[in-house]
Chain A
Amino acid sequence: ILNVEQSPQSLHVQEGDSTNFTCSFPSSNFYALHWYRWETAKSPEALFVMTLNGDEKKKGRISATLNTKEGYSYLYIKGSQPEDSATYLCAFTNQAGTALIFGKGTTLSVSS
């Protein structure tokens, strides 16, 4: 059974704080790792797709790293803003064209 774990489950930070979340996934038969941002009442929005060990991706204040050998990825948010409040989902796939296997997500709340 393929299992994706995310931690923490929820997080509350103050505006301006930097924060990070963890996603762990099976390290064997790896194909791709995805991060999504999911706001209430909206569709999950793709943040990053990473495929190579050591990949680092960045979009504005958000960045992600990937370690396929040990099966983990980190998502970093620098200088959190209230609009960053959302659930961040990590998803793994071991083959192109197949369904993504999701973690439970990390729900971030940023107070101003």
Chain B
Amino acid sequence: GAVVSQHPSRVICKSGTSVKIECRSLDFQATTMFWYRQFPKKSLMLMATSNEGSKATYEQGVEKDKFLINHASLTLSTLTVTSAHPEDSSFYICSANRAGTGETEAFFGQGTRLTVV
């Protein structure tokens, strides 16, 4: 099966600092990765589509300067929450599709629980 590793799984940071979350496809290449955020009692909400070698595509209402996405290789995408504030506290999870297959199945990381204090 396809494995996606996401870390850290849990992070606590101070208000005003930045936090980087990594999403790595371990045994397949992913030209596209997706970043989701889950609010309490809500669906997984798509934040952005991370495209290898080009700029990420952000969903409406998601600040691209706040949530910096870099997809520098076919196996790694990073999400950096800049100048974090308590309202950024949430669960963030990434997914990746296998490149070149036309599949729609998404393989997920384990998620990151961010707490900003």
Residues of A within 8 A of B (CB): 4, 31-32, 34, 36, 41-44, 46, 49, 89, 91, 93, 96-105
Contact = CB atoms under 8 A, between A and B. Distances in A.
Nearest to A45: B108
B108 A44 contact: yes
Contact of A43 (B4, B43, B49): B4
A105 B70 CA distance: 29
A41 B110 contact: yes
Given A34-B104, A49-B104, A99-B34, A89 B44 contact: yes
A96 B102 contact: yes
Contacts of A91: 106
Interface of B: 4, 9, 32, 34, 36, 41-44, 46, 49, 93, 95, 97, 102-111
B46 A99 contact: yes
A46 to B, nearest CB: 6
B43 A105 contact: yes
A42 B43 contact: no
Contact of A104 (B9, B43, B46, B109): B43
Contact of A4 (B43, B106, B108): B43
Contacts of A99: 34, 46, 49, 95, 106
B106 A100 contact: yes
A56 to B, nearest CB: 18
A102 B102 contact: no
Contacts of B109: 43
Contact of A97 (B93, B95, B102, B108): B102
